[in-house]
């Protein structure tokens, strides 16, 4: 923690002085873009909306209405995917990688209407009809309000805008917390969810480790003394400097990944080191000190399930699929194991042995590990599925990672992915092994 503090101080001092040379060192143009620009940069149609919550917050909501090079005139309504980010990040984490390894782009290319929300306090949702983000009133919220107000307002807005009744929900980390809280207490909202995909789910932090756990363990009064009552780690100085000045430089990139891994868990091979500037300039994207205080209460009370406000997971009848990582320090296997039996309609769970908390967002092999499974699960339950488009993106991801066309055939896929009958897998090593060993629930395949 001292190293971290020293690093932060160092960056605060030097970060502001060196703004001038920033541009020269940036390697990826996305590091300086907002979400709309990133979406357009990759050639996708982009829409942005302001959604006002019942308690006055103005949230930035982003949309990729259809895939690259598709005809917008197509009259058929596309089924909706809603993506909800977690703590300290924003919707930009769904488009942080090139299209074939970003979930939002892959879903758009697979025929879906993709929407991305931003929780209050994150960098794209720092507006309020009455309060300025400079005021403590603005920051008086935790994930409770995100569940109670943000999600309701955003989903209602999407339904109204698209004239549709149902959608698929993907949440990562605190994005699942919000969902569990909202779906268990708001049956009207829950009815609108066709399927709940939970990545690195988080409902308690008893067994979490790392700096975030340390942060959550600081007594609230002390936390408020150290960080104030407003935003925790405001974006500017820390992240911008770290990312643009240091992280893509040789030597420093180790430091940056070490920081990432300390927070999220270790997985050195699955991150694209050339994109650290993008990852670290977009994050941390802001949350309130009070949110950490609330997580501290969750930690003390062991789980947010047992204390008021009471969230009864048994009430969630939505088909749910979970992907978790064994190297995840924030949502570690023990936490996920505790959660699984509490979910009444768990359809599928896959534990990925080498995944950490952010591999689900940034990992190089996300298409192979779970994108295809999300699409497949929908095919099982629903009618919409356009595998060919998806396959192109998964194949492209594999090719870019330097995988040879392997000799191994996707034997276990034959039944489930008939279109793959004559297609070789894109690898025959590590990635294949994981691909073939998901933990299936209730005989899905
Ligand atoms: C993104 O940035 C561009 C250029 O600065 C600006 O025109 C646009 O309004 C921004 N979009 C959003 C949604 O903030
Ligand atoms: C890694 O990032 C660089 C820079 O953005 C990009 O050109 C390259 O294609 C990425 N590699 C993979 C395997 O995605």
What are the phi and psi torsion angles at 117 (to 5°)? Answer: -95, 165
248 lines ligand 2 (CB under 6 A): no
34 lines ligand 1 (CB under 6 A): yes
177: Cα separation from own chain's centroid: 12
User: Which residues have C-beta within 8 Å of that of residue 342, sequence separation ≥ 6?
Assistant: 305, 313, 314
**Would you call 50 a catalytic residue per the annotation?**
no
Q: Tokens 């004239």, residue?
A: 163
pTM: 0.80
Topology (CATH level 3) of domain 24-383: Rossmann fold (3.40.50)
Structure-token pair, residue 127:
């507006």
DSSP state of 201: -
Instruction: Report domain extents, the chain.
Output: 24-383
Q: What's the CA-to-centroid distance between 283 and ligand 1, angstroms?
A: 18
Residue nearest atom 2 in ligand 1 by C-alpha distance: 34
Using the atom order of ligand 1, give the atom closest to the CA of residue 60: 13
Residue 354 CB-half CA count within 13 A: 15
25 lines ligand 1 (CB under 6 A): no
Using the atom order of ligand 1, give the atom closest to the CA of residue 48: 13
**Tens-digit pLDDT profile for the chain (445 aa)?**
566 666 655 555 454 444 434 444 557 888 888 999 999 999 999 999 999 999 999 999 999 998 887 766 555 678 899 999 998 888 999 999 988 889 999 888 877 899 999 999 888 888 999 998 888 888 888 888 999 999 999 999 999 999 999 999 999 999 999 999 999 999 999 999 999 999 999 888 878 887 788 888 888 888 787 777 777 776 666 666 666 666 666 667 777 777 777 777 777 778 888 888 888 777 777 788 888 888 888 777 765 554 545 678 888 889 999 999 998 888 999 989 988 988 888 888 888 888 989 899 998 888 778 887 887 777 655 544 444 444 444 555 555 554 444 323 233 333 333 333 223 333 333 333 333 223 222 222 2
DSSP state of 368: I
272 lines ligand 2 (CB under 6 A): yes
* Cα four-point dihedral sign 245, 250, 254, 257: positive
């Amino acid at each position: 923690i001292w190293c971290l503090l020293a690093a932060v101080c160092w960056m605060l001092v030097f970060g502001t002085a060196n703004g001038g040379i920033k541009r020269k060192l940036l390697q990826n143009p996305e590091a300086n873009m907002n979400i709309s620009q990133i979406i357009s940069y990759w050639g996708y149609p982009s829409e942005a909306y302001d959604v006002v919550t019942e308690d006055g917050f103005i949230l930035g909501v982003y949309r990729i209405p259809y895939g690259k090079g598709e005809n917008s005139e197509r009259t058929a309504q596309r089924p909706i995917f809603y993506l909800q980010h977690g703590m300290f990040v924003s919707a930009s984490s769904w488009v942080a990688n090139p299209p074939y390894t970003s979930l939002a782009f892959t879903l758009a290319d697979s025929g879906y209407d993709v929407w991305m929300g931003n929780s209050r306090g994150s960098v794209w949702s720092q507006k309020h009809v009455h309060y300025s983000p400079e005021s403590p009133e603005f920051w008086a919220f935790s994930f409770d309000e995100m569940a109670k107000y943000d999600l309701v307002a955003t989903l209602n807005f999407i339904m109204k805008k698209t004239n549709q009744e149902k959608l698929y929900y993907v949440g990562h980390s605190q994005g699942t917390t919000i969902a569990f809280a909202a779906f268990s207490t708001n049956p009207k909202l829950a009815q609108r969810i066709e399927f709940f995909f939970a990545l690195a789910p988080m409902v308690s932090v008893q067994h979490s480790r790392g700096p975030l756990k340390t942060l959550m363990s600081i007594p609230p009064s002390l936390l408020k003394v150290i960080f104030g009552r407003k935003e925790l780690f405001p974006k500017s100085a820390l992240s911008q400097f770290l990312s643009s000045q240091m992280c893509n430089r040789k030597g420093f990139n180790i430091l940056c990944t070490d920081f990432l891994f300390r927070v999220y868990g270790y997985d050195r091979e699955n991150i694209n080191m050339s994109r650290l500037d993008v990852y670290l300039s977009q994050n941390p994207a802001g949350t309130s000190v009070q949110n950490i205080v609330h997580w501290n209460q969750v930690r003390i009370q062991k789980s947010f399930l047992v204390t008021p406000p009471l969230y009864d997971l048994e009430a969630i009848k939505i088909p749910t699929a979970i992907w978790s990582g064994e190297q995840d320090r924030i949502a570690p296997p023990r936490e996920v194991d505790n959660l699984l039996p509490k979910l009444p309609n768990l359809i599928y769970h896959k534990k990925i042995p080498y995944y950490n908390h952010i591999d689900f967002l940034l990992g190089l092999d996300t298409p192979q590990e779970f994108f295809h499974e999300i699409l497949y699960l929908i095919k099982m339950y629903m009618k919409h599925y356009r595998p060919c488009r998806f396959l192109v993106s998964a194949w492209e991801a594999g090719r870019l990672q330097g995988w040879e066309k392997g000799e191994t055939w996707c034997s276990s896929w034959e039944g489930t992915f008939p279109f793959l009958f004559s297609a070789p897998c894109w690898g025959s090593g590590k990635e294949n092994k994981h691909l073939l060993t998901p933990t299936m629930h209730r005989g899905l395949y």
